[in-house]
Amino acid sequence: MSDLQNLLEELNNVHSGTARKVELKEKTKKPTKEVVDDPIDIERREKVKEAMIHAWGSYETYAWGQDELQPQSKSGVNSFGGLGATLIDSLDTLYIMGLDEQFQKAREWVANSLDFNKDYEASVFETTIRVVGGLLSTYDLSGDKLFLDKARDIADRLLPAWNTPTGIPYNIINLSQGRAHNPGWTGGESILADSGTEQLEFIVLSQRTGDPKYQQKVENVITQLNKTFPDDGLLPIYINPHSGATGYSPITFGAMGDSFYEYLLKVWVQGNKTSAVKLYRDMWEKSMKGLLSLIRRSTPSSFTYICEKSGGSLTDKMDELACFAPGMLALGSSGYGPEDSQKFMSLAEELAWTCYNFYQSTPTKLAGENYFFHSGEDMSVGTSWNILRPETVESLFYLWRLTGNKTYQEWGWNIFQAFEKNSRIESGYVGLKDVNSGVKDNMMQSFFLAETLKYLYLLFSPSSVISLDEWVFNTEAHPLRIVTRDEGGNVKNTNEKQKPFPRLGGRKEGRSG
């Protein structure tokens, strides 16, 4: 009844022209008190939207249909085989921000020009999180079946990668020929993150199409890994796809490890936390026990950080990529009892402070790629480039949503201003070769539009916009609808239930031009 009432109210508001245009209003499962939209938030959200318009406009002008824009040379580059990576990565951001004209033009490109039949050696992981994830998210938001059909097309081309003796996938596949293999530099091994970060997308694809084959392939990987899953839940970054054995290789919450742990939690969230997905939560809780064993604090300032582990020894190094962990811990904390819940939320807040200081500690106020911790010296930047990464603002978004503490908005705003100051040029946004000197590179990464700007926009939006009760973000910040998994874990076609994401009074808020 209350859903019907809300719908009627919304319709009345739209017809009377009084609808608030800033909220992508959603039905929520439980009544939430209306968040009053703060004037400062509105102003900041507009600034972030303007940044998106600038980034997108530059891509449209100089690199349309190509994977990424090189802003300094005003040219496009096909870093992902010519699949329009920036365009597909940006679809849901454009949609959420209400940038209608840009979205429609991008949709036309997807309908008429997107072609996956490429003789290209694609990363299964990158193609899944950016392309499959981006298309599924846009389908979940818009209800437009074009995006689901395209997601299925590319997923079908990726599927042969799972045809290994264990079902643990090879990480590279030729999109037109279907030949899969692992990169030479891993010595034939599969990479943990690359093999364990397709579960969300492929489960959602099975739900939306009613075809169980996608879900079966990716869930088998978790079944295999669980057979020898250690008590501390920490896996080395290399796995043998023939035997399933994990050899001697580093353990990390940074590059090549990170999103495996993230997806253990998020598959549980996406399945609406039922017993059908309890295995994922159980594995994740083991991994969080392991994460606690990697926590150290710096001197003199007591910054909390996550070490990397090789063999029995810890290395005092943390990637900026590992700054997704505070957001993950905050999101997962509510599944614990009161005491553990508080413990993990406090750890999330401490780690977020460290990650914010990755930014604050450099002359440009932008973070380097990784940091080392030395006794008595706190943190020092290691690899000193910044490629417009989103992980810290992602965690600030979760902490703001889950604690209501406005400090996280302030930190996010400071980071956004540092991007504006150092990375914005007349033809787009660029990374920095060095966060100390501020020397610019020549690449606008697709995830800047997919993730960094989306999380910043949502950081200044009411919490009913992409409510965490209704949506879960993939590791490329593409929101996917939560669907309750039944106890048998069977796939039901959720397609008939797809309704477009309701928006009030059109999507004209602050449109430029």
Catalytic residue among 23, 198, 219, 258, which?
258
Residue 369 CB neighbour total at 10 angstroms: 20
> What is the Cα Rg of the chain in Å?
22
Structure tokens at 164: 């290994």
Q: What is the C-alpha to C-alpha distance for residues 150 and 42, in angstroms, rounded to an integer?
A: 35
Place of tokens 């239930």: 497
Residue 451 bears catalytic tag: no
Residue 377 bears catalytic tag: no
Residue 369 bears catalytic tag: yes
**Side-chain half-sphere of 154: how many Cα atoms within 13 Å?**
36
Are 331 and 394 in contact, with CB atoms under 8 Å apart? no
Catalytic residue among 126, 140, 285, 319, which?
126
Q: What is the C-alpha to C-alpha distance for residues 25 and 46, in angstroms, rounded to an integer?
A: 18
* Closest-CA residue to 164 (of 154, 173, 176, 155): 173
Catalytic residue among 369, 441, 451, 509, which?
369
Catalytic residue among 26, 391, 434, 476, which?
391
- Provide the residue count of the chain: 513
> For the chain, how far is it from start to end, CA to CA, in angstroms?
41
Q: What is the C-alpha to C-alpha distance for residues 453 and 393, in angstroms, rounded to an integer?
A: 9
Q: What is the C-alpha to C-alpha distance for residues 469 and 308, in angstroms, rounded to an integer?
A: 33
Residue 108 bears catalytic tag: no
**3-class DSSP state for residue 462?**
coil
Structure tokens at 416: 């956004």
Is the preceding omega at residue 300 within 30 degrees of 0, hence cis?
yes
Q: Residue 217 carries which side chain, given as an amino acid letter?
A: K
Are 161 and 124 in contact, with CB atoms under 8 Å apart? yes
Label residue 254 exposed, middle or buried (CB < 10 Å: 0-12, 13-18, 19+): buried
Are 364 and 424 in contact, with CB atoms under 8 Å apart? no
Provide CB contacts within 8 A for 338, sequence distance 6+: none
* Residues known to be catalytic: 126, 258, 369, 391
